């Protein structure tokens, strides 16, 4: 994620430098790295889904905190 921050975004504009196939390959590479760390072993699609769920939960939590501060 640090080397390729655009992977953290749910949608990214594709360009000649970043094709859908390249983005998929980067998620596969990230999944391999995460699976080596363990204990969870998931496919690239499952890791991507987990990341998006985590981001969604954190955004909702931040929104609740902002609402509580008003």
Q: What CA–CA distances, in Å, run from 17 to 6, 22, 38, 61? A: 12, 8, 31, 34
In tens digits, the chain (70 residues) has pLDDT values of 788 888 887 677 778 888 889 989 999 999 999 999 999 999 999 999 999 999 999 999 999 999 999 8
CA distance 42 to 45: 8
Phi, psi of 7 (to 5 degrees): -70, -20
> For the chain, give me the number of helices (H) and strands (E)?
2, 0
pTM of the model: 0.79
Domain segments of the chain: what residues?
A: 17-69
């Amino acid at each position: 994620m640090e080397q390729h921050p655009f992977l953290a975004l749910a949608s990214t504009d594709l360009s000649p430098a970043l094709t859908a196939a390249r983005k998929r390959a980067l998620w596969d590479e990230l999944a391999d790295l995460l699976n080596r760390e363990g204990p969870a072993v998931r496919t690239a699609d499952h890791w991507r889904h987990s990341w998006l769920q985590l981001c969604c939960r954190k955004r909702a939590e931040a929104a609740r905190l902002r609402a509580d501060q008003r």
